[in-house]
Amino acid sequence: MLEKPKLFVRLTEFWFSMIFLSVLLFIRLFFLYGDYKEFKEKPLFYTDVQVVQAYEKWKNDNYYTILKLYSPTLDLHFFSRTKIRSKDLTSKIRIKLFPHSDMKFLDYLGVPFIFSNVNHIYDEKKNTKADFLYFIEKQHNDKDISSFYKAIYFATPLTKSLRESVSVLGVSHLIALSGFHLSILSALLFFLIRLVYRPLQQNFFPYRFDLYDIGFIVLLILGFYVWFVGSPPSLLRSYVMLIAGWLLLVLGMELVSFSFLATIVLVLLVIFPKLMLSLAFWFSIAGVFYIFLLLQYFSHINKYLMTLLISFGLFILMLPIVHTFFPLTSSLQLYSPILSLGFTFFYPISIFLHLLGIGGLFDGYLKELFTLSTHIVAFKLEKSYLIVYLTLSFLSIYSRWLFYILSFISILFALWLFILVL
């Protein structure tokens, strides 16, 4: 069997491309640094912002509302706070910003905290997304369940109680829109469009190849969807990878390769350099990396076994990385791979049920799942161990034995971690 041509024929081509993209990234960061210097030197800014999230905190009988905001004018995500109650805010407000001179450039690239005053609260305007959210909400009596569905369809923030339950279950990757959701949607759309397209193709244009036509239509629909939900970093990364993957597939080139992944990462950072500070972005990249690693060494096995291997293998290989940043550990997290497999079927079925107006069919089961009680411990891995683990992961690309060592270490860590919990 002939091998598919690689994205880069020679190693020198790969490194030249990496250097070229890195130079472009440096240029982008140089201009962003200029924006940062100009921003923090101004005493104040007036800007309209979108309220991404608002929740109240209490301290010594005093309350204040924490705001997560986005300014399209400044292209800046940031936190702030106000004494205005969250229920009195709308999705769009006008604020006066007070940049602080000690703000670091990395803070500016990330999600900094900036003091502000709310000057005006705009009336809530009806829009298509709000209509969809209301359509979802009215099919559920429980606020947490409604929040769950709105999050997996439209990338809206979870309620505080549900966010805690999701952390305990270890299924945050199922809630935050990412490549997992996009792959399910693309497969569903391809199947549905093909039902209509195939008869037309056979009767009127049999010379056309459905992968080109349907794939292009699916990409257009998904592109609109990514824009519609606000382009979350992990979803944006997945969409660009999907476009690039489709192009390589059409050209008949090798799709599953680490050179392809590295190229996509740098292209995304050149276009959206602030993704450098997005933990969700790097988590999604790590997930794809380990999927590619598993496919490299086990692609010869049965596809159903491969599905199970990826689900359980990805969970185990990601544990050291996850526990470097998120210390919460519970025995319920052991169900994460099974819930991930089940979500593949649940997600399209739930969409169909909501379109029929009977989206509350699974509410009872979901409520039970989100209210399961378990013993919880907090364990955080030192970052020095993470550096060693990531180094071993990269070296595993070139050595099967190093991959086995990596797997053995991650399995030992998983056993030790959950024995500690249990």
Six token digits for residue 309: 């291997």
Is residue 44 scored above 90 in pLDDT?
no
Q: What is the pLDDT of residues 317-374, one digit of tens each?
A: 999 999 999 888 888 888 888 988 999 999 999 999 999 999 999 999 999 888 887 7
Concatenated DSSP letters for 266-328? Answer: HHHHHH-GGGGG-HHHHHHHHHHHHHHHHHHHHTTS-HHHHHHHHHHHHHHHHHHHHHHH--E
- pLDDT for res 349: 95
pLDDT band at residue 1 using 50, 70 and 90 as cut-offs: very low
Q: Which CATH number fits domain 42-121: 2.40.50.590, 3.40.50.1370, 3.30.70.1230, 3.40.50.1100?
A: 2.40.50.590
Residue pair 91/50 in contact (Cβ under 8 Å)? The answer is yes
pLDDT above 50 (res 247): yes
When mean pLDDT is compared over 55-69, 148-162, 285-299, the highest value belongs to 285-299
232 closest CA partner among 23, 103, 53: 53
pLDDT at residue 422 in the model:
67
Per-residue pLDDT at 3:
60
Q: How many residues does the chain have?
A: 422
How many CB atoms are located within 10 Å of the residue 362 CB?
15
pLDDT at 207 > cutoff 90: no
**pTM to 2 decimal places:** 0.87
Per-residue pLDDT, averaged over 237-257, amounts to 79
CA 144 to chain centre: 20
Edge to edge, what strands does the sheet with 76-82 contain? Answer: 76-82, 62-71, 45-59, 92-98, 115-121
Average pLDDT over residues 209-233: 86
Structure tokens at 259: 């050179």
Q: Give pLDDT tens digits for 144-201.
A: 899 999 999 998 888 878 888 888 888 888 888 888 889 899 999 999 998 888 888 8
Reported as a single tens digit per residue, the pLDDT across 254-278 is 777 888 889 889 998 998 898 888 8
Confidence of residue 315 (pLDDT cuts 50, 70, 90): very high
The residue ranges of every structural domain in the chain are: 42-121, 172-421
Mean pLDDT score across all residues of the chain = 87
392 has pLDDT over 90: yes
- Which residues, other chains included, contact 33 with Cβ-Cβ below 8 Å and sequence gap of 6+? 105
pLDDT tens profile 183-198 = 899 999 999 998 888 8
Q: How far lies 380's CA from each of 125, 286, 392, in Å?
A: 44, 18, 20
Q: What is the pLDDT of residues 110-139, one digit of tens each?
A: 888 989 898 888 887 777 888 888 899 999
Helix axes 383-395, 279-298, angle to 10 degrees: 40
Looking at residue 15, its pLDDT comes to 92
Question: Could you tell me which residue, 357 or 234, shows the higher pLDDT?
Answer: 357
Helix (H) or strand (E) segment spanning residue 197: helix 179-204
Percent of the chain with pLDDT over 90: 32
The winner for highest mean pLDDT among 180-194, 219-233, 388-402 is 388-402
